[in-house]
Amino acid sequence: MPAPCSCMSFNPETRRLSVGMDNGAISEFIVSEDYNKLTPARTYQAHQGRVTVVLFVLEMEWILSTAQDKTFTWHCSESGQQLGSHRTTAWVSGLQFDVETRHAFVGDQSGQVTILKLEQDTCSLVTTLKGHTGSVTALCWDPVQRVLFSGSSDHSIIMWDIGGQKGTAIELQGHREKVQGLCYAPHTRQLISCGADGGIVVWNMDVTREETPEWLDSDSCQKCEQPFFWNFKQMWDSKKIGLRQHHCRKCGQAVCGKCSSKRSTIPLMGFEFEVRVCDSCHESITDEERAPTATFHDSKHSIVYMHYEPTRGYLLTSGSDKVIKLWDMTPVVS
């Protein structure tokens, strides 16, 4: 290769291998039937910087790509010509495409996901999804339920209801470090996520989940009415020292530490780990509501890449420890 390889995409139906490189180019090869030979097919001078994601769409005969030059481009794989491009706000780290509607989902380092509507040689901005406080590290699209999953360096996963047009965004908290990979098993409606913490989490997405509430603003505790430390007037009037503000993860109310001394899991809201809740919400959460909706597995290495093969139920993980592991997921994804 003329430059270090940065990403690749393989289409088993056509045996077309697309390889993105550090120099911004994309080289295409045809893999022989016995998988013992690579025949060079074409090279696209697609970008001015390191290619971050390359995706071949057989139905459209398109090559979609993104790079650190903050551009998203698509080329015709038959002619090799560039059809169009779009400038992104930050360099892109995740890319998915819906063939039916020609929507591209572009996740970037700023933490947002941009939805673009692609035509043959033009594109239009549909909307921008903003919910992560860290960069987007993984995207996964379910074309049947029309749901987009985004993983982030902020340790969270967000499920965006695109097709239902409800505008719901369900947050999933099951990793203690950044999310490195996502894949979806549609036949069992399970989401598999891998993280830098070495965790492999299998989420049951066949349950009715709830959106996390917005955090409410207040100058005093919404339970005991004690002032927070910036509320000078009330502190002076009541001759009391202000308290630090916290928020209940279940009701979203602004509360002091004394009124939110308890912790609880809230799996239906995506909180598989214990989080801060106010005392009244803690009493209202039943044991049934605390039942986990995900299973946790320790890969024993910091995962940097994952790939799931649903037909066999195999999961491949590659770690920063230079080890590749192959997992049989059929006992847990069933």
Asked if residue 150 is part of any domain, the answer here is no
Residue 52, C-beta contacts closer than 8 angstroms, at least 6 positions apart: 6, 7, 20, 66, 67, 68, 91, 92, 93
Answer whether 78's CB lies under 8 Å from 61's CB: yes
Mean pLDDT of 282-295: 90
Rounded CA-CA distance 80/74 in Å is 10
Mean pLDDT of 151-166: 86
Structural domain tally of the chain? 2
Last residue of a domain, which of 130, 155, 177? 130
Higher pLDDT, 52 or 242: 52
CATH code of 29's domain: 2.130.10.10
Q: What domain range is 258 assigned to?
A: 232-290
> Which of 186, 184, 189 has the alpha carbon at shortest distance from 315?
184
Question: Residues 238, 120: one domain?
Answer: no
How confident is the model over 213-236, as pLDDT tens digits?
888 888 888 888 887 866 666 666
Asked if residue 106 is part of any domain, the answer here is yes
Mean pLDDT of 241-258: 84
Asked if residue 63 is part of any domain, the answer here is yes
Asked if residue 98 is part of any domain, the answer here is yes
Asked if residue 141 is part of any domain, the answer here is no
Categorize the per-residue pLDDT at 289 as very low, low, confident or very high, splitting at 50, 70 and 90.
Answer: confident
Last residue of a domain, which of 86, 111, 130? 130
How confident is the model over 59-100, as pLDDT tens digits?
999 999 999 999 999 999 999 999 999 999 898 989 999 999
Lowest mean pLDDT among 27-41, 121-135, 189-203, 219-233: 219-233
Rounded CA-CA distance 334/328 in Å is 11
Mean pLDDT of 4-30: 95
Asked if residue 332 is part of any domain, the answer here is no
Mean pLDDT of 166-192: 89
% the chain with pLDDT above 90: 68
Is the pLDDT reported for residue 119 higher than 70?
Answer: yes
Quote the pLDDT of residue 238: 65
Last residue of a domain, which of 85, 100, 130? 130
CATH code of 280's domain: 3.30.40.10
Sign of CA pseudo-dihedral 281, 283, 286, 291: positive
Asked if residue 165 is part of any domain, the answer here is no
Asked if residue 145 is part of any domain, the answer here is no
DSSP character at residue 228: B
